[in-house]
Amino acid sequence: MVLKSQLLKAVALVSLIGAGTANAATIVSNFNDYPTDERLLNTNYGSGWPAGFDTVTQVKWGEDSADGTTGGTSVVVTRPGDLVAPPATGYSLTQPVITAARSVTGTQGTARRQNRETGGLTGDIWMSWLMAPSADGRLGLNLNGSVKGFNGADNVRVIALGSSFNVYGPGTNSATGIFTADETALILGLLQMDTGGGNDDRLRLWVNPNVGLGEADVLANQATVHDLILDNAIMGSSLDTVGIVAYAASGDPGRLDSLRISNDSGGFGAVTGVVPEPGSVALFGASGLFAAFVFGRRRNRRQGG
């Protein structure tokens, strides 16, 4: 009976470890549920977004749930066709076709950001998106900007600017020669809120990493394009909004697609489609069972005198 009890406790322990963290979420926008030439501000689509999804109270891109109004002057619209990650990245997610294949672009000649609430994500936040920038446009994400507006410095912008990959917010950080116009790249990011128990946030960004090798390999062996510490005064303690930035000096700023953000325990897999090998999961479970069993035996011996 003692052995059975110890094994049951061990199973519970392993289950708890694999259950994920409280308030974890995965949010997705593939844009394949939108009509063609639809402004993101106009329609409620996506999955995993805050309370109200698929109801009349759903918070759209550019709406402010605090006052129930729509806002923002962005013109971020859908266009036909999905982007596809380079095969060498090992990215293994597919975009379900609900209405038809769609990606998004911008139609304005000045910078526009269409933001949406996330519900407040904390901890380690993995994100990925596909992006095919143009030669003269700006395209990317806006983190913790105003839901309705697009001005102000209280946010972080992760932007393809022609062939460069820039991060604005903690100063201007530029990496040149990263993109080729009209070629799709996989962007992978890890935002760690209050990293190390301090008041700063850490943002790491990879372009076309080989995610197929797994999370541990990406973190240990694959070079980032940016690895930045963000002052907590800029981001606060949670990721509250995410936006799409689109601007072109002339013509099309490019395309963005398959936006995925997750602070779940399996966040890396949720944004890349790459999960640990079954063998490694089984090994972890077996080691957990064994450790719990040994611990229980030792404790019983001590209690038995």
Tens-place pLDDT, residues 257-274: 999 999 999 999 999 999
Nearest residue to 9 via CA among 292, 295, 268, 272: 292
Domain residues for 288? 23-297
Indicate which CATH number applies to the domain containing 227. Answer: 2.60.120.560
Model pLDDT, residue 196: 60
Q: Quote the Cα angle for 160-161-163, to 5°.
A: 85
Low-confidence ranges of the chain (pLDDT < 70): 1-23, 51-57, 71-74, 109-111, 149-154, 196-199, 277-305
Q: What's the pLDDT score for residue 18?
A: 37
The number of distinct structural domains making up the chain is 1
Which residue type does 263 have? N
Predicted pLDDT of residue 248? 79
pLDDT tens-digit readout, 78-115: 999 999 999 999 999 999 999 999 999 988 766 678 88
Note whether residue 11 is domain-resident.
no
* Domain presence at residue 290: yes
Q: What is the dihedral of CA 230, 232, 237, 238, to 10 degrees?
A: -30
Please provide the average confidence, as pLDDT, over all residues in the chain: 80
CB atoms within 10 A of CB 237: 12
What is the per-residue pLDDT for 219?
98
Q: Is residue 52 part of a domain?
A: yes
pLDDT at 247: 84
The answer to whether position 304 is within a domain reads: no
pLDDT (0 to 100) of residue 194: 80
Residue 8 lies in a domain: no
State phi, psi for 164 to the nearest 5 degrees: -90, 155
Prediction pTM value: 0.82
Structural domain contains residue 265: yes
Residue 51 is predicted with a pLDDT of 66
Handedness of CA 62, 66, 70, 73 (dihedral sign): negative
Residue 145 included in any domain:
yes
